Amino acid sequence: MAIRINPRFIDDLNRYGAEDVQLCYHCGDCTAVCTHSDEIFNFPRKSMRRLQMGLERKIETTLEPWLCYYCGTCSDQCPREADPGETMMSLRRWLISRYDFTGIARQFFKSIVTEILAVIGIALLTGLFLFYYGYTQGSITVYDGDGAFLPSSFIHKFDLLVGLVLAVFLIINAFRMWYFIMIKGTSFNIPWWLYIKYIFTLPWHFLTQKRYAECEIKNEAKIHMPWIVHLGLMLGYVIMLLLVMVFIEKLQYGPEIDWRVHIFGYLATVGLVIGTIYFIRNRFNKTKYVQYKKSHSTDWVFITMLFFIVLTGIAQHVFHRTGLLELANYIYIIHLMFVVPWLLRMPFSKWSHLVYRPLAMYLAAIQRDVITKREVISESLSISVK
């Protein structure tokens, strides 16, 4: 079977953040020290090797990069300072751009200018549209009820529209990921019932991020800060997304807000505030964790935008509750100007690992099942031959 080699793959990956792959001399330290590396899925050394050899198609169809949660132990211990952890991270970025059928992700990862221009463009479009809409049918001084500047029923529809676009992109990309890994990258047949057998891994990994916690065991710390904060941040924005997508009309209606919605809103806000501040601080203060030493431009765009979304969201809430309705409306538009590009950017950025990670765990569990069985069979065969 012919294997295609892309000799410029390693240079290409430079743009995604992996700069030192060439330094690796394959001592295997990283693989041996990794918590998640095992007989069936061993990395990062193997990925480094494939990268050096330019086996683009091979990497495209593997799950390994998704099984790494970047605890940084491998990079810490690497004798060549080849930074395998960052390489896995870059491979994830590259894979996101491969799964994305539009090619937008590739442009975003490669050029910060393109990304910022796209974000600003969409933000301006959103802002103009909302202003136009608000002035034609309402008054800037009214926040909710009749004649509201941005009535929640309209925002609800608007949100659902954005959500729909998001979902279309993500579902197609996830489908492509499945196709790459399970059809192109798997040489054996996978029985359909395994897909049902392991379906529980999807919500399990999505909600607990158990493997991220396992990563931290290595560091022998009692509290796994990056995991807890990451989980808090993730749950925060998932809850917030649900609130905004489904319960927005309850969220914005009058002075008497349903306390159930209220509680969740505040919890999510706490998670988001702590999360964004924690990650921004770590990315500035590079000494504490290896995984935050190098920040790709897309990381910064993601975290700063999220930070402003949280800020404007809180401000909007405060102004709304204190009766400064005109200000609340302005802030609301600014808030949405951040939210819309941020959401639309999601399928083309690292943020989409929200979908890919659990999916990868799910597919990995299936593959592992098949491979272990096959190995048992082949071993028993070889014994009987002997």
Partner 1 sequence: MRTGIFFCQVEDGKSLNIDKIAKYAANLPGVETVQILGMKPRLNAQTLCDLIKNNQLERIVIAGDMPGYYKPVFTKAMAMAGCNTDEVRLASFQEHGAQGEVALDRAKATVACANMAVPFALVATPTRNPVNHSTLVIGAGIAGIQASLEIANAGKHVYLVEQTGTIGGHMAMFDKTFPTLDCAACILTPKMVYVGQHEMIHLLTNSKVTEVSGKPGAYRIKIRQRARHVDVDSCVACNLCSEVCPVKVESEFDSKISFRKAIYIPFPQAVPNAYLVDGENCTFILTEGQKCGVCLKKCPKECINLNEPDKDMDIEVGNIIITTGYELLDVGKIEQYGYGKYPNVLTSLEFERLTNSSGSTGGRIVTKTKQVNKKTGKEEWSFTPDGIPPHNVAIIHCVGSRNKKYNSYCSRVCCMYSLKFAHLIKEKIPNVNCYEFYIDMRAFGKGYEEFAERIKHEGTFIIRGQTAKVEMANEQMIVHGEDIMNDKMVQFKVDMVILAVGLVPAPGTEYLSRILGITRDSDGWFSELDYNGNPTETERGGIYVAGMCQGPKDIPDTVAQASAVAAGVLGSITSGKGIGHLSSVSLSDIEARAKIIHTL
Q: Identity (one letter) of the amino acid at 345?
A: R
Report d(CA 127, CA 321) in Å as an integer: 23
- Binding flag, residue 47, partner 1 (CB under 8 A): no
- Residue closer to partner 1 (CB basis): 28 or 323: 28
Structure tokens at 48: 């480094």
Interface characters, 116-155, with partner 1 (x: CB under 8 A): ----------------------------------------
- Residue closer to partner 1 (CB basis): 29 or 60: 29
CB of 32 to partner 1, least distance (A): 3
> By three-state DSSP, how is residue 166 classified?
helix
CB of 51 to partner 1, least distance (A): 15
DSSP notation for 213-272: HHHHHTTT-SS-HHHHHHHHHHHHHHHHHHHHHHSHHHHHSSS---HHHHHHHHHHHHHH
Angle at 371 between CA 370 and CA 377, to 5 degrees: 95
* Among positions 15, 45, 156, 294, the unique one binding partner 1 when judged by CB under 8 A: 45
- Residue closer to partner 1 (CB basis): 39 or 146: 39
- Residue closer to partner 1 (CB basis): 52 or 107: 52
- Residue closer to partner 1 (CB basis): 12 or 29: 29
Residues 237-256 that bind partner 1 (CB under 8 A): none
Interface characters, 10-39, with partner 1 (x: CB under 8 A): ---------------xxxxxxxxx---xxx
* Among positions 3, 5, 81, 157, the unique one binding partner 1 when judged by CB under 8 A: 81
CA distances 240 to 178, 248, 258, 282, Å, are 28, 10, 15, 24
- Binding flag, residue 79, partner 1 (CB under 8 A): yes
CA distances 163 to 167, 171, 245, 343, Å, are 6, 12, 8, 8
Q: Total number of residues binding partner 1 (CB under 8 A)?
A: 19
- Binding flag, residue 77, partner 1 (CB under 8 A): yes
CB of 52 to partner 1, least distance (A): 13
CB of 15 to partner 1, least distance (A): 24
Angle at 10 between CA 85 and CA 354, to 5 degrees: 45
CB of 31 to partner 1, least distance (A): 4
- Binding flag, residue 217, partner 1 (CB under 8 A): no
For residue 79, whether the previous peptide bond is cis, meaning omega lies within 30 degrees of 0, is no
Helices 259-284 and 225-246 meet at what angle, rounded to 10?
140
- Residue closer to partner 1 (CB basis): 31 or 312: 31
Cβ atoms of residues 84 and 36 within 8 Å: no
Cβ atoms of residues 10 and 24 within 8 Å: no
- Residue closer to partner 1 (CB basis): 30 or 130: 30
CA distances 5 to 55, 56, 110, 364, Å, are 5, 7, 21, 25
Report d(CA 208, CA 228) in Å as an integer: 10
CB of 237 to partner 1, least distance (A): 36
- Site for partner 1, rule CB under 8 A: 25-33, 37-39, 42, 45-46, 77, 79-81
